[in-house]
Amino acid sequence: MANFNNRDTDKPVHEMLEHKEDHHVVHEANKERLAEAVAAEDQEHMGVVAAFRLFPKAAFWSMVMSMVIVMEAYDAALVSNLMAQPAFQRHFGQPLGDGTYQVPPAWQSACNYASTIGAFVGILICGYVQPHLGYKKTMIGALVAMTCFIFVTFFAETLPVLFVGQFLAGLPWGFYNAIAQAYASEIVPLPLRAHATMWNQVCWCVGQLMTSGILFGFRNGTSKWSYKIPFAIQWIWPVPLIIAMIFAPESPWWLVRKNRLEDAEKVVRRLESKNSPRDPAAVVAMMARTIEIENSLTEGASLAACLKGIDGKRTLVASFMFAAQNWSGLLIGNMATYFYTVAGMGADKAFGLGLGTSGVQLAAVLVAFHLVTRVGRRRLYLSGVAFQTAMLLAIGIAAAASKSSTSFWIQATFLMLVYASYGLSVGPITFTIVAEVSSIKLRAQTCAIARAAYYAVAVPMGFVQSYSLNPLAWDLQGRSAFIWFGTAVGVLIFVYFMVPETKDRTVRELDILWHRRVPPRKFKTTVIDKDDDE
């Protein structure tokens, strides 16, 4: 005998039969929708070349959105390297008595990391704004703000004003980082997810390379334009990027989260080539299925939700990965030009070697695009941070053993290897892992918190690095590598035990692995059935 709920038992028989028929229709529709979702997910598994051929527009727009990272990387490297420029030192520094000038270590650290503090604030604001406005509108607003804030830095004549200008410029940075990698991971299919997020590191390297090249050209300048022109070059980027953002598609995942299914289908159709075998409706059904799973497991889509339950663990991993960039040797690499000058190298050679170091890292990132599809995220990261740990120890030993020119060149060589290894592994893989360990529902918020963790760690660690190199402070020179050797060992241990392999896993599969509490080291081998929803 059929079972009916209490509400139905008071209805006439024909109404109950009609209710059963409606329920049957809904059930059949749900089965058809599930079949479409499963089929669309199966089609996600394809080769990288095939994915580029079928989704060239998706790859293009993810790359365009990430170009904002060039602006951050350029500015982030600009002030720290200007500390080694004679014209900047004379205007903002204090005389040392030997005819040279140095910016006081307190102000050096403050100006170096004012933008980082601003980015920390900006990224938290973005965590509230982006879920309501979407990726496009939020990014356009950040670019407009950046255009205005550059004026403060350009016209700065004192260190306090320079600090304020850098702080304001950092506010849009927070938006860039929260949005760029989340958007890139959502707009492309599974095989391109690593490449789209790793492109952020390419943009970072391009920005730093631009800084190194431009400052090399102004290395011997004597007027204020030697550092004002590099500041002014920042205006090149916002306007064309604003125009590009106007025409960029919104993330279909965000549209599905907002229940705008028809708009999501239009975006999916726009991003695919005409030869794509995927049905846009099926793709949207796959997205809706994943979001329904996440809705059943997570309440709300706020920053607070990122800190609760299993999502808290995912946020912890993402946050550590970004923070670990500051503990793996990046900071000593970012101040390479300054490192060379305090070791006694002239400005010409120091800026030239700094330019070469940036070029080496960019080449390494491009090699990483090939390795990530073969080696995987976890293994490549572990290999890279292990190598950097060894190189940092070698730099410290060489610096402690001798102050000769031979010792300096050994340190410079090992430092370049640290930078190359970072570009090959830690740098680009971090962007991919952070995007993939977060859930779709909380991706933008998780990326925001993770990047905020990077900034929160970068500020105190930056002060440590500035003080360790500055002749007016600790003057450790190459021996400062011992500090980062110790932190790199901690990174190696955490990643081995806590960071999973996410290669070739769909969003649904990763959600299930996390919520089943599968140990991170077993993510790669655990089997998830295509019909599993929890």
Which range is least confidently modeled, 191-200, 420-429, 472-481? Answer: 472-481
Q: Which two tokens stand for residue 186?
A: 């959502």
Q: Which of 172, 171, 162 is nearest to 109 (CA)?
A: 162
pLDDT tens readout for residues 53-96: 888 898 899 999 989 988 888 887 788 778 777 888 888 888 87
Q: Which two tokens stand for residue 9?
A: 């038992």
- Per DSSP, helices labelled H in 45-158 are 48-54, 56-66, 68-82, 86-92, 105-154
Split at pLDDT 50, 70, 90, the class of 2 is: very low
Which range is least confidently modeled, 6-10, 74-78, 300-304, 372-376? Answer: 6-10
Query: What would the mean pLDDT of 399-416 be, rounded to a whole number?
Result: 79
The helix (run of H) or strand (run of E) holding residue 419 is helix 405-421
Checking if the pLDDT of 154 tops 70, the result is: yes
118 vs 330, higher pLDDT: 118
pLDDT tens readout for residues 514-529: 888 888 888 888 887 7
Question: Other CB atoms closer than 10 Å to residue 137's CB: what's the count?
Answer: 14
DSSP 237: T
Q: What is the architecture of the domain spanning 46-522?
A: Up-down Bundle (1.20)
Which range is least confidently modeled, 148-152, 381-385, 520-524? Answer: 520-524
Residue 360 to residue 421: CA distance in whole angstroms: 10
Residue 309 to residue 294: CA distance in whole angstroms: 13
The ranges assigned to domains in the chain are 46-522
DSSP 11-62: S-HHHHHHHHHHHHHHHHHHHHHHHHHHHHHHHH---HHHHHHH-HHHHHHH
> What does the pLDDT read at residue 32?
57
Residue 230 to residue 37: CA distance in whole angstroms: 50
Residue 126 to residue 123: CA distance in whole angstroms: 5
> What does the pLDDT read at residue 20?
43
332 vs 428, higher pLDDT: 428
